[in-house]
Amino acid sequence: MIIDWTDFEPLGTEKLNSAPGVCVTAAGSISVYASVGPELELWYGSLLDGHVWSGLRLLDSEPIVSAPGVVARTPGSRDLFVRRPGYQLGHKAYDINIGWSPYEPVGPELFTNTTPAVCSRSTDRIDVFVRSATDHSLFILAFDGKRWLVATQLETDQLPAAPAATSRGSGRMDVVFQGSDNALWHKSFAANTWSASTRINSGITSSGPSICTASPTTLDVFVRRSDNAIWQTSFDGKWSGYEPIGTETVATAPAAVWANGKVHVFAAGQARGLLHKVGTPVPATSTQGDWRWCSKCQSLFFGGQQATSRCPVGDAHASQGQSHSGNYTLPFGVPATARRQRDWRWCDKCQGLFWGPGVNDSHCSAGGRHATANETGSYDYCLPHSLPISPRRQDDWRWCNRCQGLFWGPGVGSSHCAAGGAHTPPEQSGSSDYCLPHEASRTALV
């Protein structure tokens, strides 16, 4: 899945002591909780409709010494868990008719020394996952609708950080955690049975994970890695490799939640202020594959009609057998964003891709200018640009200000432009750094 990410935006200047805790309410608002300021107080804020931010406000002045774990198991409720001084796990409940309860102790003392993770697999159940204070193994504490059951050990490995949990449907739970090998591990619960723990990603993480879900068949996990940026790995039948969601660095583990078809990620930035980033999936039906690189002229062209294409070097653009090009997948018909530029068009004379607004100044290798979108009915392609390096994309694709086409930048020295000579290098054209999603490397990742 291709996700378009916004940059991190600051949500206030209050200083967070730990990662935020988030949950989504029935109305689609996102509630954010955090330990704030020198007194370690619990503060909260709401993101209405995914973008109207309330600001952070004090909720409870008693000190807390972990990030909050929180879940909304019914539309009018919240259950929030924190570590309180003395390794004690505290539970605070919200009822829309009553308001917030004070903290009540849960489980034995000396029990947790990290942030508790919480999920709800039905409206009367709460499951809390904690790292044991004595041996750092993973325990589960369950509320069955009437009482808290005896805590049981779920995993004997020694966790370096807090686990994360979510439910993707009735009776189901997924827990992820950083193992003692610093890789990411997963355990799932279905049909009243826990699976074995499996290592889902061998890449090293430097924080505990955050997990969220958009559907019963998908999971999204976010971690801070050694570059202090946030990376994503996703499950959709199988786990993907890590992908960065931006280049910004953060000071805490992330917290992530899906709401109204978008994924929201929160973390404290280097100055400890709350940051927020939104990811919008680009529908798979809005992408077209079989765009190819021509090894003769360095341009991008539509491989589905290679036989009728025209290369400035002569004859058709290089065939797949000649160039061994990757299979580039271009988004089309989707909104422009700060990182995606629309109005790129296909020319049916040369089969090349070119920047539509420049058509009158363009040069086509079949003669004259490229064919306009009115003439061809071309899709409106939206090219991603200025994104972090990723194994799923190839950056350094450039716009030529003479032919208006797109070409592979590192090949500019051996390129051929329909306007004569080589394509214009980006230092002269001022081209953005376009990043093309790449099917071949996506397959290679698995």
Assess 316 for contact with Zn ion (CB under 5 A): no
State the minimum distance, in angstroms, from the CB of residue 308 to Zn ion.
Answer: 12
The angle at the Cα of 222, spanning 262 to 440, to the nearest 5 degrees, equals 85
Chain centre to alpha carbon of residue 187: 21
State the minimum distance, in angstroms, from the CB of residue 423 to Zn ion.
Answer: 4
Element housing 140 (H / E): strand 138-143
Separation between Cα atoms, residue 19 and residue 255, nearest integer Å:
7
Separation between Cα atoms, residue 183 and residue 199, nearest integer Å:
7
The only residue of 383, 400, 412, 436 in contact with Zn ion, by rule CB under 5 A? 400
**Length, in residues, of the chain:** 446
DSSP-assigned states of every residue in 405-429: BEEEGGGGGG---TTSSSPPPHHHH
The only residue of 349, 385, 393, 398 in contact with Zn ion, by rule CB under 5 A? 349
Stretch that binds Zn ion, among 32-40, 143-151, 197-205, 304-312 (CB under 5 A): 304-312
**Dihedral of the CA atoms 61, 146, 32, 256 (nearest 10)?**
140
The only residue of 73, 262, 277, 317 in contact with Zn ion, by rule CB under 5 A? 317
Assess 292 for contact with Zn ion (CB under 5 A): no
Residues binding Zn ion: number (CB under 5 A): 15
Of the candidates 63, 66, 62, the residue with the CA atom closest to the CA atom of residue 83: 66
Nearer to Zn ion, 120 or 365 (CB): 365
Identity at 70, one-letter amino acid code: V
Of the candidates 361, 329, 331, the residue with the CA atom closest to the CA atom of residue 343: 331
Identity at 26, one-letter amino acid code: A
The only residue of 32, 65, 71, 347 in contact with Zn ion, by rule CB under 5 A? 347
State the minimum distance, in angstroms, from the CB of residue 316 to Zn ion.
Answer: 8
The dihedral built from the CA positions of residue 417, 420, 421 and 423, taken in this order, carries a sign that is: negative
The only residue of 311, 406, 412, 436 in contact with Zn ion, by rule CB under 5 A? 311
The only residue of 423, 426, 434, 436 in contact with Zn ion, by rule CB under 5 A? 423
Assess 406 for contact with Zn ion (CB under 5 A): no
Assess 385 for contact with Zn ion (CB under 5 A): no
Query: Half-sphere exposure of 211 toward its Cβ, with a 13 Å CA cutoff?
Result: 27
Assess 369 for contact with Zn ion (CB under 5 A): no
- The DSSP 8-state label assigned to residue 134 in this structure reads T
Nearer to Zn ion, 341 or 351 (CB): 351
The only residue of 230, 417, 435, 436 in contact with Zn ion, by rule CB under 5 A? 417
Assess 359 for contact with Zn ion (CB under 5 A): no
Stretch that binds Zn ion, among 43-51, 83-91, 142-150, 417-425 (CB under 5 A): 417-425
Chain residues in the site for Zn ion (CB under 5 A): 294, 296-297, 311, 317, 347, 349-350, 364, 370, 400, 402-403, 417, 423
